[in-house]
Structures are given as C-alpha cells and as structure tokens.
C-alpha cells in the first residue's frame, strides 16, 4: 500500500516505527512509502492494521500526517 507522509524529514522515523510493527517498507518517489503488512490475512485487514499504526504514529508526532493513498488516486 502506498502511504503519503507530509514531512519527508520524518521518513526514517515512520519507516522504523512500521518495521517495529512487523511491516515491510520501501521508499517511493516523492513523499511516499510503500508498505506491506505480511501477517495480515487479507488486503482489508492489512489496510485496517496499517491505518491503526499510522494513527498511533501521528499521535506520537503531532502536526504530521501519514495516510494510505487509494490505488485509484495514484498516478
């Protein structure tokens, strides 16, 4: 899944946080991160888990934004 991050300076912090949660991550062009939740049983479960992780990370980083970009919105 493609995740947008508002502050590129926090890229490494977000990646480390997601990796500790068991996700695999990779950089995309621009302000994006490609995330996989390998232990999820379905795409829907993976998205729910990732959204929880992102909400937790944002709570730890006030003023930052990170959210899943739907496939239809990607260019």
6-55 per-position pLDDT tens digit? 998 999 999 999 999 999 998 877 778 999 999 999 999 999 999 999 99
pTM of the model: 0.87
Q: How far is CA 51 from CA 67, 69, in A?
A: 7, 11
pLDDT the model gives residue 28? 75
d(CA 45, CA 14): 20
Instruction: With beta carbons less than 8 A apart as the criterion, state whether 35 and 23 touch.
Output: yes
Handedness of CA 21, 23, 24, 29 (dihedral sign): negative
Give the chain's domain count: 1
Confidence check: pLDDT of 73 > 70: no
pLDDT band per the 50, 70, 90 thresholds, residue 71:
low
Residue 5, both tokens: 């991050």
Using a 10 angstrom Cβ sphere, with 0-12 exposed, 13-18 middle and 19 or more buried, the burial of residue 31 is: middle
Which residue range(s) make up the domain with 9?
A: 2-73
pLDDT the model gives residue 74? 42
């Amino acid at each position: 899944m493609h995740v947008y991050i508002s502050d590129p300076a926090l890229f490494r912090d977000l990646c480390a946080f997601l990796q500790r949660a068991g996700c695999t991550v990779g950089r995309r062009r621009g302000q994006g991160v490609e995330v996989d939740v390998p232990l999820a049983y379905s795409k829907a479960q993976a998205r729910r888990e990732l959204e929880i992780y992102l909400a937790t990370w944002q709570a730890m980083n006030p003023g930052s934004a990170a959210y899943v970009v739907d496939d239809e919105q990607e260019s």
